[in-house]
Amino acid sequence: MQFGTMYQSHSVARPRHAHARNRHRRNQNDEYHTPVSVVDVWMDYKRLADSKWTQQRIATAKKVSQQLVSFRIQCAKLPVKALEFFTNRSFLNERHAIEISRLLTVSNLTPWIDRDTLMLEILTEVNAKHKKSITAAS
């Protein structure tokens, strides 16, 4: 499954009218109008799946593709340390998860490292490089 192409085909068009732009912003926020982390979104999808909702029912309710639902449920099952990276580092978003998932295909892994360990190594390295770039810019 190609998550990158699936995600790009689902990209949201930016509305032109002011009220439509505001509605788009509200949909990215919770009921208190504060931004919702990508991990919270993933956990919401998993909660619905755990409540016996089918992926197609979730997709219809959320107005997204079934493939995106499947991807978000899989993201919710990432190791806790990986989820913490996405929660605590505001520069990491769902697109990063998509790119990491592309790297972590079975054919790319070597026999001496498992998927979760490799993912944490990648996230740790990305975080370190991000910190260096912020320090250099200051």
pLDDT at 108: 58
Mean pLDDT of the chain: 75
Buried b or exposed e, range 85-96, using 16+ CB within 10 angstroms: bbeeeeebebeb
Residue 110 DSSP SS3: coil
Q: At residue 56, does pLDDT exceed 50?
A: yes
Q: At residue 73, does pLDDT exceed 70?
A: yes
Distances (CA, A) of 20 to 26, 27, 34: 10, 11, 18
d(CA 75, CA 40): 11
Residue 120 DSSP SS3: helix
d(CA 115, CA 105): 8
Q: Which residue has the higher pLDDT, 134 or 11?
A: 134
Q: Which residue has the higher pLDDT, 102 or 20?
A: 102
* Domain positions in the chain: 1-77, 79-138
Q: At residue 7, does pLDDT exceed 50?
A: no
pLDDT at 12: 44
d(CA 22, CA 43): 25
Interval 102-117: pLDDT, tens: 776 656 556 667 777 8
Section 66-88 average pLDDT: 89
Section 18-28 average pLDDT: 49
pLDDT at 109: 59
Of 95, 73, 33, 65, which is closest to residue 86 (Cα–Cα)? 95
